[in-house]
Structure 1
Amino acid sequence: MITAIFSNRLEREVKEPDNEQYYKRGTLAVLGVLRDIERDATPIMISHARGQFISRILSVDKELLVIDYGSNDYDNQVTLEMHSLRVNAEMKGAKVEFSLEQLHEAHFGGLPAFSAPLPAELLQIQRREYFRISAPLDPIFYCHATWPEGGKARLRLQDISLGGVGVLVEGEMPENLPSGDIWRGMRLDMGEYGELQVDAQLLHVGARTTVSSKNETVSTPRLSFRFTSLGPAQERQLQQIIFALERVAREKAMRFR
Protein backbone atom coordinates (compact mmCIF):
# COMPACT_ATOMS: atom_id res chain seq x y z
CA MET A 1 0.00 0.00 0.00
CA ILE A 2 0.84 2.95 0.34
CA THR A 3 2.20 0.77 3.23
CA ALA A 4 4.56 -1.16 1.15
CA ILE A 5 5.83 2.13 -0.27
CA PHE A 6 6.02 3.60 3.22
CA SER A 7 7.88 0.60 4.66
CA ASN A 8 10.37 0.58 1.78
CA ARG A 9 10.93 4.27 2.25
CA LEU A 10 11.63 3.79 5.94
CA GLU A 11 14.16 1.05 5.17
CA ARG A 12 15.90 3.27 2.67
CA GLU A 13 16.04 6.10 5.17
CA VAL A 14 17.64 3.89 7.80
CA LYS A 15 20.35 2.77 5.37
CA GLU A 16 21.19 6.15 3.94
CA PRO A 17 24.40 7.63 5.41
CA ASP A 18 22.85 11.11 5.50
CA ASN A 19 20.68 9.90 8.37
CA GLU A 20 23.67 9.37 10.62
CA GLN A 21 23.00 12.73 12.24
CA TYR A 22 19.51 11.60 13.28
CA TYR A 23 20.57 8.58 15.33
CA LYS A 24 20.19 8.66 19.10
CA ARG A 25 22.70 6.38 20.78
CA GLY A 26 23.36 5.54 24.38
CA THR A 27 21.01 4.75 27.22
CA LEU A 28 20.04 8.28 28.21
CA ALA A 29 19.37 9.52 24.66
CA VAL A 30 17.29 6.47 23.70
CA LEU A 31 15.47 6.45 27.03
CA GLY A 32 14.49 10.11 26.67
CA VAL A 33 12.78 9.55 23.31
CA LEU A 34 10.99 6.37 24.38
CA ARG A 35 9.75 8.01 27.58
CA ASP A 36 8.20 10.77 25.49
CA ILE A 37 6.38 8.12 23.44
CA GLU A 38 5.23 6.39 26.64
CA ARG A 39 4.12 9.61 28.30
CA ASP A 40 2.01 10.73 25.34
CA ALA A 41 0.63 7.21 24.74
CA THR A 42 1.75 7.56 21.12
CA PRO A 43 0.69 4.55 19.01
CA ILE A 44 3.54 2.43 17.68
CA MET A 45 3.56 0.10 14.69
CA ILE A 46 5.38 -3.20 15.21
CA SER A 47 6.32 -4.92 11.93
CA HIS A 48 7.95 -8.25 11.18
CA ALA A 49 8.19 -10.77 8.35
CA ARG A 50 4.71 -12.20 9.00
CA GLY A 51 2.68 -9.07 9.68
CA GLN A 52 2.26 -5.94 11.76
CA PHE A 53 0.04 -4.54 14.49
CA ILE A 54 -0.55 -1.38 16.48
CA SER A 55 0.46 -1.18 20.13
CA ARG A 56 1.89 1.23 22.72
CA ILE A 57 4.75 1.43 25.17
CA LEU A 58 3.60 0.59 28.70
CA SER A 59 6.86 1.13 30.55
CA VAL A 60 10.50 1.85 29.81
CA ASP A 61 13.59 2.13 31.98
CA LYS A 62 17.35 1.81 31.52
CA GLU A 63 17.15 -1.95 31.06
CA LEU A 64 13.70 -2.96 29.89
CA LEU A 65 11.09 -1.89 27.34
CA VAL A 66 7.54 -3.17 27.95
CA ILE A 67 5.04 -3.10 25.09
CA ASP A 68 1.33 -3.84 25.22
CA TYR A 69 -0.05 -7.01 23.64
CA GLY A 70 -1.97 -6.59 20.40
CA SER A 71 -5.70 -7.21 20.15
CA ASN A 72 -5.30 -10.51 18.25
CA ASP A 73 -4.00 -13.57 20.14
CA TYR A 74 -2.68 -15.23 16.98
CA ASP A 75 -0.70 -12.11 16.03
CA ASN A 76 0.76 -12.02 19.53
CA GLN A 77 1.95 -15.63 19.36
CA VAL A 78 3.45 -15.14 15.91
CA THR A 79 5.24 -12.02 17.13
CA LEU A 80 6.88 -13.97 19.96
CA GLU A 81 8.41 -16.29 17.35
CA MET A 82 10.00 -13.49 15.32
CA HIS A 83 13.70 -12.70 15.61
CA SER A 84 13.76 -9.39 13.76
CA LEU A 85 11.22 -6.66 14.42
CA ARG A 86 10.93 -3.02 13.48
CA VAL A 87 9.08 -0.46 15.57
CA ASN A 88 8.08 2.97 14.32
CA ALA A 89 6.06 5.84 15.70
CA GLU A 90 4.88 9.15 14.29
CA MET A 91 5.30 11.77 16.97
CA LYS A 92 4.16 15.28 16.20
CA GLY A 93 6.87 16.72 14.02
CA ALA A 94 9.13 13.64 14.14
CA LYS A 95 9.42 10.04 13.01
CA VAL A 96 10.97 7.51 15.38
CA GLU A 97 12.17 4.07 14.32
CA PHE A 98 14.20 1.32 15.95
CA SER A 99 14.80 -2.42 15.70
CA LEU A 100 14.40 -5.21 18.25
CA GLU A 101 15.93 -8.67 17.98
CA GLN A 102 13.04 -10.41 19.74
CA LEU A 103 10.09 -9.80 22.04
CA HIS A 104 9.56 -11.94 25.13
CA GLU A 105 6.40 -12.75 27.03
CA ALA A 106 5.94 -10.66 30.18
CA HIS A 107 3.23 -9.18 32.40
CA PHE A 108 2.36 -5.61 33.24
CA GLY A 109 -0.36 -4.66 35.70
CA GLY A 110 -1.38 -8.30 35.85
CA LEU A 111 -1.96 -8.51 32.08
CA PRO A 112 0.18 -10.15 29.36
CA ALA A 113 2.68 -7.92 27.59
CA PHE A 114 5.87 -8.02 25.53
CA SER A 115 9.30 -7.10 26.86
CA ALA A 116 12.69 -6.50 25.29
CA PRO A 117 16.01 -4.97 26.29
CA LEU A 118 16.29 -1.24 25.65
CA PRO A 119 17.50 -0.74 22.05
CA ALA A 120 21.05 0.53 21.72
CA GLU A 121 20.03 3.18 19.19
CA LEU A 122 17.05 4.68 17.42
CA LEU A 123 16.39 6.96 14.51
CA GLN A 124 14.56 10.23 15.15
CA ILE A 125 13.97 12.42 12.12
CA GLN A 126 12.31 15.79 12.46
CA ARG A 127 9.73 16.02 9.72
CA ARG A 128 9.38 18.82 7.24
CA GLU A 129 6.36 17.01 5.88
CA TYR A 130 4.05 14.44 7.44
CA PHE A 131 3.41 11.04 5.93
CA ARG A 132 0.14 11.37 4.05
CA ILE A 133 -2.24 8.54 3.23
CA SER A 134 -5.12 8.52 0.79
CA ALA A 135 -8.62 8.27 2.23
CA PRO A 136 -10.63 5.25 1.06
CA LEU A 137 -13.08 5.51 -1.81
CA ASP A 138 -15.52 3.15 -0.12
CA PRO A 139 -16.74 4.20 2.31
CA ILE A 140 -16.14 7.86 1.57
CA PHE A 141 -14.84 10.05 4.42
CA TYR A 142 -16.28 13.55 4.66
CA CYS A 143 -15.25 16.85 6.17
CA HIS A 144 -18.13 19.01 7.40
CA ALA A 145 -17.34 22.71 7.68
CA THR A 146 -18.70 26.22 7.27
CA TRP A 147 -17.69 28.46 4.36
CA PRO A 148 -15.99 31.71 5.50
CA GLU A 149 -19.00 33.75 4.35
CA GLY A 150 -21.50 31.33 5.86
CA GLY A 151 -23.27 28.23 4.66
CA LYS A 152 -22.58 24.57 5.27
CA ALA A 153 -19.94 22.71 3.29
CA ARG A 154 -19.60 18.94 2.89
CA LEU A 155 -16.18 18.15 1.45
CA ARG A 156 -14.76 14.75 0.52
CA LEU A 157 -11.56 13.77 2.31
CA GLN A 158 -8.88 12.92 -0.25
CA ASP A 159 -5.87 12.43 2.02
CA ILE A 160 -5.00 12.61 5.70
CA SER A 161 -1.85 13.17 7.75
CA LEU A 162 -0.92 14.29 11.26
CA GLY A 163 -0.31 17.72 9.77
CA GLY A 164 -3.54 18.29 7.90
CA VAL A 165 -5.96 17.11 5.22
CA GLY A 166 -6.69 17.54 1.55
CA VAL A 167 -10.37 17.74 0.55
CA LEU A 168 -12.30 17.78 -2.71
CA VAL A 169 -15.22 20.15 -3.26
CA GLU A 170 -18.24 18.35 -4.64
CA GLY A 171 -20.72 21.01 -5.63
CA GLU A 172 -20.68 24.80 -5.60
CA MET A 173 -17.73 26.62 -4.06
CA PRO A 174 -17.55 30.33 -3.17
CA GLU A 175 -15.26 32.37 -5.38
CA ASN A 176 -11.94 33.77 -4.19
CA LEU A 177 -11.53 31.73 -1.03
CA PRO A 178 -8.77 33.48 0.93
CA SER A 179 -5.75 31.32 1.74
CA GLY A 180 -4.52 31.72 5.29
CA ASP A 181 -7.97 31.81 6.88
CA ILE A 182 -8.58 29.64 9.94
CA TRP A 183 -11.59 27.35 9.60
CA ARG A 184 -12.86 26.53 13.07
CA GLY A 185 -14.83 23.50 14.14
CA MET A 186 -14.23 21.37 11.06
CA ARG A 187 -15.65 17.88 11.65
CA LEU A 188 -13.83 14.96 10.06
CA ASP A 189 -16.23 12.04 9.70
CA MET A 190 -14.19 8.88 9.14
CA GLY A 191 -16.92 6.27 9.37
CA GLU A 192 -16.11 3.32 11.61
CA TYR A 193 -12.89 5.03 12.73
CA GLY A 194 -14.76 7.86 14.42
CA GLU A 195 -14.88 11.64 14.16
CA LEU A 196 -12.52 14.50 14.95
CA GLN A 197 -13.35 18.18 15.41
CA VAL A 198 -10.43 20.40 14.50
CA ASP A 199 -9.40 23.92 13.60
CA ALA A 200 -7.38 24.20 10.40
CA GLN A 201 -5.78 26.83 8.19
CA LEU A 202 -6.51 26.90 4.48
CA LEU A 203 -3.12 26.75 2.75
CA HIS A 204 -3.93 26.31 -0.91
CA VAL A 205 -6.82 26.27 -3.37
CA GLY A 206 -6.09 24.06 -6.35
CA ALA A 207 -7.69 21.38 -8.49
CA ARG A 208 -7.52 17.66 -9.10
CA THR A 209 -7.74 16.70 -12.77
CA THR A 210 -9.00 13.27 -13.88
CA VAL A 211 -10.19 11.69 -17.13
CA SER A 212 -13.74 10.33 -17.16
CA SER A 213 -14.96 7.10 -18.76
CA LYS A 214 -16.00 9.23 -21.73
CA ASN A 215 -12.40 10.44 -22.09
CA GLU A 216 -13.36 13.90 -20.87
CA THR A 217 -11.14 15.91 -18.57
CA VAL A 218 -12.81 16.60 -15.22
CA SER A 219 -11.43 19.21 -12.84
CA THR A 220 -12.48 19.14 -9.16
CA PRO A 221 -11.51 21.96 -6.75
CA ARG A 222 -9.10 20.77 -4.04
CA LEU A 223 -8.44 22.55 -0.75
CA SER A 224 -5.34 21.89 1.37
CA PHE A 225 -5.56 22.48 5.13
CA ARG A 226 -3.02 22.48 7.95
CA PHE A 227 -4.19 21.68 11.47
CA THR A 228 -3.54 24.64 13.74
CA SER A 229 -3.65 22.59 16.93
CA LEU A 230 -4.23 18.97 17.81
CA GLY A 231 -4.54 17.81 21.39
CA PRO A 232 -2.59 14.70 22.46
CA ALA A 233 -5.76 12.58 22.45
CA GLN A 234 -6.71 13.81 18.95
CA GLU A 235 -3.20 13.13 17.68
CA ARG A 236 -3.27 9.58 19.07
CA GLN A 237 -6.69 8.95 17.51
CA LEU A 238 -5.57 10.29 14.14
CA GLN A 239 -2.36 8.24 14.19
CA GLN A 240 -4.33 5.09 14.97
CA ILE A 241 -6.63 5.85 12.03
CA ILE A 242 -3.64 6.37 9.70
CA PHE A 243 -2.04 3.13 10.86
CA ALA A 244 -5.35 1.27 10.40
CA LEU A 245 -5.85 2.64 6.88
CA GLU A 246 -2.27 1.78 6.04
CA ARG A 247 -2.79 -1.79 7.20
CA VAL A 248 -6.05 -2.20 5.25
CA ALA A 249 -4.45 -0.86 2.08
CA ARG A 250 -1.46 -3.16 2.52
CA GLU A 251 -3.70 -6.22 2.94
CA LYS A 252 -5.67 -5.30 -0.19
CA ALA A 253 -2.46 -4.86 -2.17
CA MET A 254 -1.20 -8.28 -1.07
CA ARG A 255 -4.47 -9.96 -2.11
CA PHE A 256 -4.11 -8.63 -5.66
CA ARG A 257 -0.49 -9.67 -6.15
Structure 2
Amino acid sequence: MSLQDSPEQSELDAGALPDDRYRLTHSSQIGTVLRDLAWQKCILNVRARTAHEMVTSVLHVDPASRTFVFDWCSTEPERQALLASNENAFSASLRGVPVNFMIGTPEITQYKGGPAFSAPFPEKLYHFQRRRHFRARTLVTKGYVCTIKMSDGTALKLDIADLSLSGVGLRSKTVDATQLPVGTTISGVHLDFGALGKLDLSVQVVGHWLAGRDDSAIHHFGCAFSNLDGRMENFLQRLVFALELASRG
Protein backbone atom coordinates (compact mmCIF):
# COMPACT_ATOMS: atom_id res chain seq x y z
CA MET A 1 0.00 0.00 0.00
CA SER A 2 1.57 3.27 -1.11
CA LEU A 3 0.59 6.71 -2.28
CA GLN A 4 3.23 7.88 -4.73
CA ASP A 5 5.71 5.60 -2.90
CA SER A 6 5.68 7.62 0.34
CA PRO A 7 4.68 6.02 3.67
CA GLU A 8 3.64 9.46 4.92
CA GLN A 9 1.22 9.82 2.00
CA SER A 10 0.94 6.25 2.35
CA GLU A 11 -17.98 4.58 -3.82
CA LEU A 12 -21.35 3.07 -10.48
CA ASP A 13 -20.54 2.73 -7.73
CA ALA A 14 -20.95 1.07 -4.34
CA GLY A 15 -24.37 1.04 -5.46
CA ALA A 16 -27.91 0.19 -5.92
CA LEU A 17 -29.90 -1.36 -8.70
CA PRO A 18 -31.71 1.31 -10.75
CA ASP A 19 -35.40 1.37 -9.81
CA ASP A 20 -38.29 3.76 -9.33
CA ARG A 21 -36.78 5.21 -6.15
CA TYR A 22 -34.02 6.87 -8.17
CA ARG A 23 -35.63 7.39 -11.58
CA LEU A 24 -36.55 10.93 -12.61
CA THR A 25 -38.89 11.39 -15.57
CA HIS A 26 -40.23 14.94 -15.16
CA SER A 27 -38.38 17.43 -17.38
CA SER A 28 -38.03 19.99 -14.57
CA GLN A 29 -36.31 17.43 -12.33
CA ILE A 30 -34.05 16.24 -15.13
CA GLY A 31 -33.20 19.83 -16.04
CA THR A 32 -32.27 20.60 -12.44
CA VAL A 33 -29.79 17.70 -12.32
CA LEU A 34 -28.30 18.63 -15.71
CA ARG A 35 -27.88 22.28 -14.60
CA ASP A 36 -26.21 21.07 -11.42
CA LEU A 37 -23.80 18.95 -13.46
CA ALA A 38 -22.93 22.04 -15.50
CA TRP A 39 -22.61 24.29 -12.44
CA GLN A 40 -20.34 21.82 -10.64
CA LYS A 41 -18.29 21.30 -13.83
CA CYS A 42 -18.67 17.54 -13.42
CA ILE A 43 -16.83 15.12 -15.68
CA LEU A 44 -19.20 12.78 -17.51
CA ASN A 45 -18.17 9.43 -18.95
CA VAL A 46 -19.92 8.61 -22.23
CA ARG A 47 -20.19 5.17 -23.77
CA ALA A 48 -21.46 4.82 -27.33
CA ARG A 49 -23.27 1.73 -28.58
CA THR A 50 -20.10 0.83 -30.48
CA ALA A 51 -18.31 0.52 -27.08
CA HIS A 52 -16.25 3.68 -27.66
CA GLU A 53 -15.76 5.61 -24.41
CA MET A 54 -15.03 9.32 -23.95
CA VAL A 55 -15.32 12.08 -21.38
CA THR A 56 -17.27 15.34 -21.64
CA SER A 57 -19.06 17.98 -19.55
CA VAL A 58 -22.42 19.76 -19.67
CA LEU A 59 -21.94 23.30 -21.01
CA HIS A 60 -25.49 24.68 -21.09
CA VAL A 61 -29.04 23.63 -20.24
CA ASP A 62 -32.18 25.15 -21.82
CA PRO A 63 -35.27 24.16 -19.79
CA ALA A 64 -37.62 25.91 -22.25
CA SER A 65 -36.59 23.75 -25.23
CA ARG A 66 -35.69 20.80 -22.98
CA THR A 67 -32.26 20.49 -24.56
CA PHE A 68 -28.72 20.57 -23.24
CA VAL A 69 -25.31 21.22 -24.76
CA PHE A 70 -22.22 19.16 -23.96
CA ASP A 71 -18.57 19.47 -24.85
CA TRP A 72 -16.95 18.45 -28.12
CA CYS A 73 -14.95 15.23 -28.40
CA SER A 74 -11.18 15.30 -28.12
CA THR A 75 -10.58 13.02 -31.13
CA GLU A 76 -12.20 12.39 -34.51
CA PRO A 77 -12.87 8.66 -33.82
CA GLU A 78 -14.76 9.65 -30.65
CA ARG A 79 -16.87 12.17 -32.61
CA GLN A 80 -17.68 9.62 -35.29
CA ALA A 81 -18.61 6.98 -32.71
CA LEU A 82 -20.90 9.39 -30.86
CA LEU A 83 -22.69 10.55 -34.01
CA ALA A 84 -23.03 6.99 -35.33
CA SER A 85 -24.63 5.71 -32.12
CA ASN A 86 -28.34 5.90 -31.37
CA GLU A 87 -27.69 4.98 -27.73
CA ASN A 88 -25.12 6.99 -25.77
CA ALA A 89 -24.92 6.23 -22.05
CA PHE A 90 -23.77 9.00 -19.69
CA SER A 91 -22.54 8.51 -16.12
CA ALA A 92 -21.22 11.05 -13.62
CA SER A 93 -20.79 11.75 -9.94
CA LEU A 94 -22.65 14.78 -8.58
CA ARG A 95 -21.40 15.63 -5.07
CA GLY A 96 -20.57 11.97 -4.64
CA VAL A 97 -23.97 10.78 -5.89
CA PRO A 98 -24.06 8.68 -9.11
CA VAL A 99 -26.05 10.06 -12.05
CA ASN A 100 -26.85 7.93 -15.12
CA PHE A 101 -28.89 8.60 -18.24
CA MET A 102 -29.03 7.73 -21.93
CA ILE A 103 -29.63 9.85 -25.03
CA GLY A 104 -29.93 9.14 -28.73
CA THR A 105 -27.73 10.58 -31.47
CA PRO A 106 -26.78 14.19 -30.64
CA GLU A 107 -26.61 17.08 -33.10
CA ILE A 108 -23.59 19.25 -33.85
CA THR A 109 -23.97 22.84 -32.66
CA GLN A 110 -21.91 25.89 -31.70
CA TYR A 111 -21.38 27.10 -28.16
CA LYS A 112 -19.44 30.27 -27.36
CA GLY A 113 -17.68 30.16 -30.71
CA GLY A 114 -16.65 26.51 -30.60
CA PRO A 115 -18.09 23.17 -31.71
CA ALA A 116 -20.28 21.26 -29.28
CA PHE A 117 -23.14 18.76 -29.20
CA SER A 118 -26.81 19.35 -28.48
CA ALA A 119 -29.41 16.78 -27.42
CA PRO A 120 -32.94 16.67 -26.00
CA PHE A 121 -33.32 15.89 -22.31
CA PRO A 122 -33.21 12.15 -21.66
CA GLU A 123 -36.59 10.50 -21.11
CA LYS A 124 -35.38 9.27 -17.72
CA LEU A 125 -32.44 9.99 -15.48
CA TYR A 126 -31.23 7.97 -12.49
CA HIS A 127 -30.07 10.08 -9.56
CA PHE A 128 -29.04 7.67 -6.81
CA GLN A 129 -29.38 8.31 -3.13
CA ARG A 130 -26.60 10.02 -1.23
CA ARG A 131 -24.03 7.70 0.34
CA ARG A 132 -22.37 7.83 3.71
CA HIS A 133 -19.08 8.94 2.16
CA PHE A 134 -18.02 11.11 -0.76
CA ARG A 135 -17.26 9.06 -3.87
CA ALA A 136 -14.46 10.01 -6.27
CA ARG A 137 -14.94 8.78 -9.83
CA THR A 138 -12.01 7.65 -11.93
CA LEU A 139 -11.34 8.74 -15.49
CA VAL A 140 -11.77 5.90 -17.98
CA THR A 141 -8.49 6.90 -19.60
CA LYS A 142 -6.50 6.02 -16.46
CA GLY A 143 -7.15 2.29 -16.70
CA TYR A 144 -7.30 1.52 -12.95
CA VAL A 145 -7.90 -2.21 -12.50
CA CYS A 146 -9.36 -4.50 -9.83
CA THR A 147 -8.17 -8.11 -9.77
CA ILE A 148 -10.26 -10.63 -7.82
CA LYS A 149 -8.86 -14.06 -7.00
CA MET A 150 -11.69 -16.58 -6.96
CA SER A 151 -11.82 -19.72 -4.81
CA ASP A 152 -11.22 -21.94 -7.86
CA GLY A 153 -7.95 -20.16 -8.60
CA THR A 154 -9.18 -18.06 -11.51
CA ALA A 155 -8.69 -14.29 -11.57
CA LEU A 156 -11.35 -11.76 -12.63
CA LYS A 157 -10.29 -8.33 -13.87
CA LEU A 158 -12.67 -5.35 -13.73
CA ASP A 159 -12.27 -1.61 -14.26
CA ILE A 160 -12.45 0.62 -11.17
CA ALA A 161 -15.22 3.19 -11.65
CA ASP A 162 -15.14 5.03 -8.31
CA LEU A 163 -13.85 4.88 -4.75
CA SER A 164 -15.05 6.04 -1.34
CA LEU A 165 -14.12 5.34 2.27
CA SER A 166 -16.79 2.65 2.44
CA GLY A 167 -16.57 0.93 -0.93
CA VAL A 168 -15.56 0.71 -4.57
CA GLY A 169 -17.53 0.71 -7.81
CA LEU A 170 -16.44 -1.76 -10.50
CA ARG A 171 -17.48 -2.26 -14.12
CA SER A 172 -16.87 -4.91 -16.77
CA LYS A 173 -18.11 -6.03 -20.17
CA THR A 174 -17.32 -9.69 -19.44
CA VAL A 175 -17.83 -10.27 -15.70
CA ASP A 176 -21.51 -10.63 -14.83
CA ALA A 177 -23.71 -11.23 -11.78
CA THR A 178 -23.38 -15.01 -12.05
CA GLN A 179 -19.67 -14.68 -11.28
CA LEU A 180 -20.10 -11.99 -8.60
CA PRO A 181 -23.54 -12.51 -7.04
CA VAL A 182 -24.91 -9.79 -4.79
CA GLY A 183 -24.23 -10.71 -1.17
CA THR A 184 -20.94 -12.48 -1.87
CA THR A 185 -17.97 -11.62 0.36
CA ILE A 186 -14.59 -11.92 -1.33
CA SER A 187 -11.10 -11.77 0.11
CA GLY A 188 -7.97 -11.36 -1.99
CA VAL A 189 -9.20 -8.28 -3.87
CA HIS A 190 -6.39 -6.18 -5.38
CA LEU A 191 -7.09 -2.55 -6.39
CA ASP A 192 -4.43 -1.00 -8.62
CA PHE A 193 -4.49 2.81 -8.94
CA GLY A 194 -1.17 3.02 -10.74
CA ALA A 195 1.24 5.59 -9.28
CA LEU A 196 -1.35 6.64 -6.68
CA GLY A 197 -1.22 3.34 -4.85
CA LYS A 198 -2.41 -0.24 -4.53
CA LEU A 199 -4.73 -1.93 -2.03
CA ASP A 200 -5.35 -5.52 -0.97
CA LEU A 201 -8.56 -6.06 1.00
CA SER A 202 -11.88 -7.89 1.32
CA VAL A 203 -15.18 -6.68 -0.12
CA GLN A 204 -18.85 -7.63 -0.17
CA VAL A 205 -20.84 -7.25 -3.40
CA VAL A 206 -23.85 -5.12 -2.42
CA GLY A 207 -25.28 -4.11 -5.80
CA HIS A 208 -25.30 -4.93 -9.51
CA TRP A 209 -26.87 -3.21 -12.49
CA LEU A 210 -26.53 -3.31 -16.26
CA ALA A 211 -26.02 -0.29 -18.52
CA GLY A 212 -26.55 -0.59 -22.27
CA ARG A 213 -27.59 -3.57 -24.33
CA ASP A 214 -26.16 -6.44 -26.34
CA ASP A 215 -22.41 -6.27 -27.02
CA SER A 216 -22.10 -2.75 -25.59
CA ALA A 217 -23.61 -3.65 -22.19
CA ILE A 218 -21.56 -2.85 -19.09
CA HIS A 219 -22.02 -4.66 -15.77
CA HIS A 220 -21.65 -2.34 -12.77
CA PHE A 221 -20.94 -3.70 -9.29
CA GLY A 222 -21.10 -1.89 -5.99
CA CYS A 223 -18.78 -3.36 -3.36
CA ALA A 224 -18.49 -2.47 0.33
CA PHE A 225 -15.19 -2.83 2.17
CA SER A 226 -14.98 -5.35 5.01
CA ASN A 227 -13.09 -4.89 8.30
CA LEU A 228 -10.96 -1.84 7.52
CA ASP A 229 -8.39 -0.83 10.13
CA GLY A 230 -7.44 2.76 10.97
CA ARG A 231 -4.31 2.74 8.83
CA MET A 232 -6.24 1.57 5.78
CA GLU A 233 -8.93 4.22 6.33
CA ASN A 234 -6.30 6.98 6.49
CA PHE A 235 -4.78 5.77 3.25
CA LEU A 236 -8.21 5.60 1.60
CA GLN A 237 -8.91 9.21 2.60
CA ARG A 238 -5.77 10.40 0.84
CA LEU A 239 -6.43 8.20 -2.18
CA VAL A 240 -10.02 9.45 -2.60
CA PHE A 241 -8.76 13.04 -2.40
CA ALA A 242 -6.02 12.34 -4.98
CA LEU A 243 -8.54 10.76 -7.37
CA GLU A 244 -10.90 13.74 -7.05
CA LEU A 245 -8.07 16.17 -7.85
CA ALA A 246 -7.09 14.09 -10.87
CA SER A 247 -10.67 14.00 -12.20
CA ARG A 248 -10.88 17.79 -12.04
CA GLY A 249 -7.79 18.08 -14.17
Distance 1:111 1:79 in 2: 18
Does structure 1 residue 224 correspond to structure 2 residue 233?
yes
On the 8 A contact 1:92/1:162 being kept in 2, the answer is no
Distance 2:104 2:82 in 1: 11
SS class of match (2:38) = helix
In the alignment, residue 205 of structure 1 is paired with which amino acid? D
Structure 2 match to 1:3: none
CA RMSD of aligned residues (A): 3.9
Deviations 1:71-126 (A, max 9, x none): 11221122111111111111223110111011111111111111101123200002
Determine what percentage of the aligned residue pairs are the same residue.
Answer: 22
Quick check: which has more Rg, 1 or 2?
A: 1
Structure 2 match to 1:66: 69
SS class of match (1:223) = helix
Structure 2 match to 1:94: 97
TM-superposed CA distance for 1:237, in Å, is 3.5
In the alignment, residue 223 of structure 1 is paired with which amino acid? M
Task: Give aligned pairs, total.
Answer: 159
Structure 1 match to 2:80: 77
Structure 2 match to 1:13: 17
SS class of match (2:20) = helix
Distance 2:95 2:243 in 1: 8
* Consecutive unaligned residues in structure 1, runs of 5 or more: 1-5, 138-158, 167-187, 192-202, 207-221, 242-257
Q: How does 1:110-129 map to 2 (within 5 A)?
A: 110-128=113-131
Deviations 1:35-57 (A, max 9, x none): 11000000001111221101100
Does structure 1 residue 38 correspond to structure 2 residue 38?
yes
Structure 2 match to 1:205: 229
Distance 2:137 2:77 in 1: 30
* Consecutive unaligned residues in structure 2, runs of 5 or more: 1-11, 147-159, 168-193, 198-226
Residues 103 and 135 of structure 1: CA distance in aligned 2, closer, same or farther (over 3 Å): closer
Query: TM-score normalized by structure 2?
Result: 0.52
